[in-house]
Structure formats: structure tokens, C-alpha cells
Amino acid sequence: MPNYDFKAFHSAMKKQVDDQFLPSVSTALLRGSDVVDTFCYGFADKEADTPLQEDHIFRMFSSTKLVTSCAVLMLFEEGRIKWDDPIETYIPELGARHVLKPGALSIDDVEPAKTQITIRHLMTHTSGLSYGLFDPGTVMFKAYTAAAVSHPGKSLSQMMTTLSALPLSFHPGTQWEYSVATDVLGRLVEVVSGESFGRFLSRRIFEPLGMIDTDFWVPEAKLKRLCAMYVGEDLLDPTKPGLHRADDKPFPGAYTKKLPRESGGGGLVSTLGDTVKFIQSFLPGGPALLKADTIDLMYRNQLASDLCVRFPNKPAFTSKGFGLGSSVTIGTSELEPAEVVGEVGWGGLAGTIWWINPRIGIAGVLMTQRYFGFGNPYSFEFKSQAYKALGFK
């Protein structure tokens, strides 16, 4: 095994906590499927002076999406779905779609969709669905909010009924927009498997891998291990230090009891150890859940050449395509290491990050709890320092 030196990496991560950008940080770096470094620093609860331990539980938000994608990939391997199947074959409510006209000022200003939504569209966020989260003030944002699309009291089946009454943002396959598509995929898993989404994940993923702390809620016996949530001093300026307690995010009492909604897009809680076990399942030598060919397909950019990852009011990430469930780095950028091409990865709204670079055989996981933290400067510092520590520039 190479003679690694993680001092600079640890120092950089420690500084993010000491400078009040993160309440805590728990990381793991892998070479192949081997964990070559773990680092844990900061507080699970700053006000109570509770030091972070590796078994503390984090809200995963959109890091959940990789788990959901894995479940769909399992169904694909078994021949139970095909990527270009129309979703209405399984979820009839999502057929006969209408699309909001360009420049529409009303949610009723629509036209018939030119194509059906396919499973591939859902896996790649090109379905035309929205989130009602990142574009406040828009017609679609207001409509999603008014319809309470992501209300935790709605089951996935009820969520589909809500979505059926709303138009798409664009014709399927023509644009990229981050959306509730992965929640639709969770419902797809239920329909095809004949069991609840949570039960499928437990039976097929969590139990085989020994992910004992990953679920859609935290039972009372484990609540003392649930990290507190924090928000930055200035949501619009992530370079401004300072953290404030935000226990009401995403809503008061979240994750402390079972609710009808088992969100495939952002509902899981997990630990560093559980997340590492799951990431290892995608790496050679790890505990395999999927065939190597399926994993290679997942890693492949599925977007048309004129599409890339982009968020409202942000510059387009032209170096980022999207595979079957996660971003795929298709070019270099000044924000990331030169060796980053070929990397797949994503993260969660509360700051969790994962990435795998199959081309050079490394992976990284970072756990923290800063609301609206994913994509903040610390995430680029984590990646830059991790690549250097693992022997890449």
C-alpha cells in the first residue's frame, strides 16, 4: 500500500470547522474498495458540546438518490424494466402530460407534451419535472408549493396523484432540471416489486450490506446520535463564516418518527460507516450488489451533447454530464483537480458529499450538517485536498 500522508488533508478539514463554515466533518477516503483514511472532527451538537463520533447519524437529503438509483438498476438487471419504457406503463397517472409554454405567466398556459416521460428521463433529470425548491418566484415554484408536492404526510402513491395535475417544465428529453424525478423512481420500485419502497431498500440493500443505521427515520433509541442541523450566517454568501442552529429544517420533527413519505430523492438518514459500505458496493473488490457492466452503464454520461448540469440563477456546469443516477465529470474545470474526469458523484442539501473516480480507482465521502451546504466552497476544498492526499493533483 502506498505511503500516504493525510496531515494536510486533515488540517484543511479541521480548518473548515474551526473557521465556522461547518459544525463538524466526518470523512473517509478509499483506494479501490479499501478505506485508507477516516477523519472525524467537530461537534454533533455545538450547543451541548457533543463531540462528533463516527457513528453519529446524518440527514442525507439528495445523497439518498444513489440508493434509489441502485434499486432501479437492480430491477433493470432482472429484466423487469427497460430504460426507454414510458413511466405511464407503471404509473398511469403520469401519462398524457402537458408542458408549460415558454414564458408562461400562468400554470394553465400549456401545450401537449411531444414525448412521453421514460425511465431514462427520470434517472437523468430530463423528464420535465421540477422541484419547486431552487427557483423561487417562478410559475412552477408557486405551483409546486401550492400543491404541497413534497409534503411528508403524502405517500409516494399520493405524490404521483399530486404530480399528475401539474404540467412539466419542458418537453421530456430536451433540457436538464433537478427535480422530484427520483421520488417517482421510488414509486416505480414499489409498483414493480410489489412492496413498500422502504422494505425493498432494507431487504435488497441495507440488510445485505449491514447498513444498520440507514433508514427513513431515527428510532428513539438512536435519537441521541442524530446530529444537530445548522445553517450558515448568510445563505447567499457561503464564504461568510458563522453557523446558527436550524432544527426546524426541513420541517420541525423531521426524521424523528415514521411518516407516509419515503422519499427516494432525499429521505434517508445514515452514518459515515453505512455510507462507506454502500459506496464500496460500487467498487472492484467490494460487496457487489450490481454487476460490473451495470455499474459501468451507471457511470456513463446519458445526456445529449448540448445538455449539462445547471441550476437556476447559476452558471452552467459544462464539465458535468449526468449518468443513471449521478453526475458524470466529462471535462476539467478550475474548481476541481485535473484528474477529476470520469468521476461520478453527488451530495445532499445538508452538506453530505460522495464521489467515485473509477478511472483512477479512488472514492471519497464527507458527512456534515450545514443546510444548503452542498456546493459550498468546502466541498471543493475537500475534493482538492483528498485527491492530493491520495497521490493525484
Per-residue pLDDT, 313:
83
Look over the chain and give the mean of its residue pLDDT values, rounded to a whole number.
97
Query: What angle is formed at CA 274 by the lines to CA 350 and CA 384, rounded to 5 degrees?
Result: 55
Question: Does the fold of domain 72-193 match that of domain 7-63+212-389?
Answer: yes
| pTM of structure | 0.97
Q: Residue 199 — φ and ψ, nearest 5°? A: -65, -40
User: According to the model, what pLDDT value does residue 275 have?
Assistant: 98
Cα–Cα distance measured from residue 257 to residue 336, given in angstroms and rounded to the nearest whole number: 39
Closest CA to 351 of 277, 266, 281: 266
Map out the domains of the chain as residue ranges: 7-63+212-389, 72-193
Enumerate helices (H) and strands (E) in the chain, giving the number of each. 11, 15
- Class of 7-63+212-389 in CATH: alpha beta
d(CA 34, CA 47): 35
Residue for grid cell 422519499 = 263
Distance CA 359, CA 299 (A): 10
Say what the pLDDT of residue 22 is: 98
- Res 393: pLDDT: 77
Over its C-alpha atoms, the chain yields an Rg (Å, rounded) of: 20
CATH 3.40.710.10 fits 72-193, yes or no: yes
Share of the chain residues as helix, strand and coil, in percent rounded to the nearest 5: 30, 20, 50
Show the low-confidence residues of the chain (pLDDT under 70).
Answer: 1
